[in-house]
């Protein structure tokens, strides 16, 4: 009897080894659509061998479908899924357990392989449903326009950078420099821009954020919709269309700012400039900044000349011609430098 028990134990162990090391892998391949015809035939033969085999397959399939459902809803609970897997394996172990020690050891090795095989399925589909989507943008001498993975668009001003990450319940942008955002609103997945410890939260919006390194302010201007501009220590301000606010990193205070007619905060991406009784020196400053030009005034007094004009995505050459004609100035080019000459204005 002793010899017979040892032999039976040995045969059971071989069977488990032959199947458990491979069958979970075949099931995983089938459910993920990667199984070959030969492997599928082997799996079908194994299922037909016994009701236990078929039941084991159905349990794996059911678990897989539950994971697929969680993936679709983007509410994957890894702990819950893992607990279900352990419960299933424990049920299998309790139903199959035999008091012969050698088989117990081999079975646990097989169970470990089963965990690894099904965990591969979990990882594949968790990554598909709950994976953090990332994007990084960097600009140097020119602005960069890009569409974010969530469908929102961003225009990154020159010498700026941002990173974008999204998960099941948040979209977060970390910004250095300046950027304009046109956000696809999603109440279940808030869109926030962070600059150090300051947050700008979208409430269905197009807005501009300016946080140039080396300066002591963070500026937010809302072009449409509404944003919440705040920090952990200060509830901050709610801003709507046409409003602008500034945060002082020195005083650590938020305040609304007056938007002057010649502000043109978003001109770097729209190329639309609206000047109303704006001093020429401010006009020149904005044009130099947006178009990377080197426009100078021969006489600094020319900077006090007032200009009221709108430029709608005009070429720099056309803009200069209009300014020169309006203020009776001469445009002199020398290499990459441009000088405006003329008589000071009598404002």
Indicate which CATH number applies to the domain containing 272. 3.55.50.30
Residue whose pair of structure tokens reads 């030009």 in the numeric block: 293
Last residue of a domain, one of 130, 151, 169: 130
| Residue count of the chain | 347
Quick one: 252 and 286 in the same domain? Answer: no
Phi and psi for 160 in degrees, rounded to 5? -135, 165
Q: What mean pLDDT comes out for the span 98-115?
A: 42
Based on the fold, state whether residues 248 and 140 are members of the same structural domain.
yes
Q: Are residues 250 and 275 in the same domain?
A: no
- Say whether both 23 and 120 belong to one domain: yes
Indicate the range of 116-120, 145-149, 196-200, 223-227 predicted with least confidence.
116-120
> Stretch 255-280: mean pLDDT, rounded?
86
| pLDDT tens per residue across span 160-177 | 999 999 887 889 999 999
Q: Residues 151, 253: one domain?
A: yes
Band the pLDDT of 87: cuts 50, 70, 90. low
Q: Of the spans 59-73, 91-105, 145-159, which averages the highest pLDDT?
A: 145-159
Provide mean pLDDT across the span 12-27. 53
Same domain? For 143 and 217 the reply is: yes
What pLDDT does residue 67 have? 54
Angle at 57 between CA 56 and CA 58, to 5 degrees: 95
**74, part of any domain:** yes
Answer yes or no: do 6 and 125 share one domain. yes
Question: How far is CA 294 from its chain centroid?
Answer: 36
- pLDDT value at position 140? 86
pLDDT, tens digit (0-9, with 9 covering 90-100), for 28-58: 777 777 788 788 888 888 888 888 788 777 7
When pLDDT is averaged across residues 74-103 and rounded to a whole number, the result is 45
Give the residue, 97 or 278, on which the prediction is more confident: 278
Whether residue 269 is predicted with pLDDT greater than 90 in this model: the reply is no
Note the pLDDT of residue 250. Answer: 94
Region of 177 (left: φ > 0; alpha: ψ -120 to 50; beta: rest) is: left
What confidence score (pLDDT) does residue 347 get?
62
Instruction: Answer with the one of 130, 151, 167 that is the final residue of a domain.
Output: 130
248: in domain:
yes
What lies within 8 Å, CB to CB, of 70 at 6+ separation is 76, 77, 81, 129
d(CA 202, CA 193): 8
pLDDT tens profile 170-206:
899 999 999 999 999 888 899 999 999 999 999 878 9
With respect to residue 297, please indicate whether it lies within any of the assigned structural domains: yes
Q: For residue 33, is it within any domain?
A: yes
Name beta bridge partners: 196. Answer: none
Identify the CA nearest to 164 among candidates 265, 254, 144: 144
CATH of the domain at 191: 2.60.120.1440
Q: What is the bridge-based pairing of β-strands 191-195 and 171-182?
A: parallel
pLDDT > 90 fraction of the chain, expressed in percent and rounded: 41
Q: Residue 327: is its pLDDT beyond 60?
A: yes
- Number of neighbouring beta carbons within 10 Å of residue 98: 12
The pLDDT score that the predictor gives to residue 90 is: 53
Q: How sure is the predictor about 111, in pLDDT bands with cuts at 50, 70 and 90?
A: very low
Q: How far is CA 63 from CA 34, 51, 74, 255, 315, in A?
A: 18, 18, 16, 54, 62
Comparing C-alpha atoms, which of 42, 11, 1 is closest to residue 25? 42
Q: Per the domain annotation, does 82 fall within a domain?
A: yes
Q: How far apart are CA 251 and CA 245, in angstroms?
A: 14
Share of the chain above pLDDT 70, in %: 73
User: Between the CA atoms of 305, 311, 316 and 319, what dihedral angle is there, to the nearest 10 degrees?
Assistant: -40
| Per-residue pLDDT reduced to its tens digit, 238-252 | 999 989 999 999 999
How confident is residue 68, by pLDDT bands cut at 50, 70 and 90? low
Contact 153, 181 (CB under 8 A): yes
> What value does the mean pLDDT take over residues 9-16?
32
Whether residue 93 has pLDDT greater than 90: no
- Domain range holding 278? 267-341
pLDDT of residue 258: 84
Looking at the structure of the chain, the number of domains it has is 3
Residue 262 lies in a domain: no
Across 4-13, 22-31, 57-66, 215-224, least confident range:
4-13
Whole-number average pLDDT of the chain = 77
Long-range contacts of 122-129 (CB under 8 A, 24+ apart): 122/67, 122/78, 122/81, 122/82, 122/85, 124/32, 125/67, 125/68, 125/71, 125/76, 126/67, 126/71, 126/76, 126/78, 128/71, 129/70, 129/71, 129/72, 129/74, 129/76, 129/168
Residue 346 lies in a domain: no
Ranges 10-24, 79-93, 148-162, most confident: 148-162
For residues 215-222, give the mean pLDDT: 94
Q: Which helix (H) or strand (E) holds 102?
A: helix 101-130
Distance CA 22, CA 42 (A): 10
Q: In whole angstroms, what is the distance from residue 11 CA to residue 13 CA?
A: 5
- Asked if residue 142 and residue 46 are part of one domain, the reply reads no
Q: Is 132 exposed, middle or buried (0-12, 13-18, 19+ CB in 10 A)?
A: exposed
Of 231, 257, 283, which marks where a domain is finished?
A: 257
- The reply to whether 222 and 282 lie within a common domain is no
178 and 273 belong to one structural domain: no
Residue 192 shares a structural domain with residue 234? yes
Instruction: Give yes or no: residues 146 and 210 share one domain.
Output: yes
236 in a structural domain: yes
Provide the token pair at 11.
């045969």
């Amino acid at each position: 009897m002793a010899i017979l028990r040892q032999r039976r134990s040995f045969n059971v162990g071989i069977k488990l080894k032959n199947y458990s090391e491979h069958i979970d892998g075949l099931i995983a391949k089938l459910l993920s659509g990667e199984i070959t015809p030969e492997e599928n035939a082997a799996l079908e033969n194994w299922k037909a061998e016994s009701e236990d085999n078929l039941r084991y397959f159905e349990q794996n399939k059911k678990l897989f479908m539950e994971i697929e459902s969680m993936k679709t809803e983007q509410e994957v609970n890894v702990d819950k899924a893992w607990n279900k897997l352990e419960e299933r394996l424990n049920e299998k172990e309790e139903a199959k357990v035999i008091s012969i020690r050698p088989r117990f050891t081999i079975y646990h090795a097989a169970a470990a392989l089963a965990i690894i095989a099904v965990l591969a399925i979990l990882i594949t589909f968790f990554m598909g449903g709950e994976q953090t989507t990332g994007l990084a943008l960097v600009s140097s001498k020119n602005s960069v326009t890009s569409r974010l993975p969530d469908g929102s668009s961003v225009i990154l001003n020159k010498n700026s950078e941002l990173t974008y990450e999204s998960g099941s319940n948040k979209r977060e942008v970390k910004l250095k420099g300046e950027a304009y955002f046109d956000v696809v609103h999603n109440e279940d997945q808030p869109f926030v821009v962070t600059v150090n410890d300051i947050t700008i939260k979208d409430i269905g919006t197009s807005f501009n954020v300016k946080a140039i390194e080396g300066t002591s302010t963070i500026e937010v201007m809302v072009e449409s919709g509404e944003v919440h501009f705040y920090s952990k220590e200060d509830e901050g301000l709610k801003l709507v269309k046409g409003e602008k606010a500034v945060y002082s990193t020195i005083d650590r205070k938020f305040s609304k700012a007056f938007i002057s007619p010649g502000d043109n905060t978003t001109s770097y991406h729209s190329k639309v400039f609206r000047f109303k009784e704006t001093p020429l020196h401010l006009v020149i400053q904005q044009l130099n900044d947006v178009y990377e030009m080197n426009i100078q005034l021969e006489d600094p007094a020319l900077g006090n000349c007032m200009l009221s004009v709108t430029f709608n995505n005009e070429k720099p050459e056309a803009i200069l011609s209009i300014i020169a004609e309006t203020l009776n100035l001469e445009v002199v080019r020398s290499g990459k430098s441009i000088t405006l000459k003329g008589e000071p204005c009598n404002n």
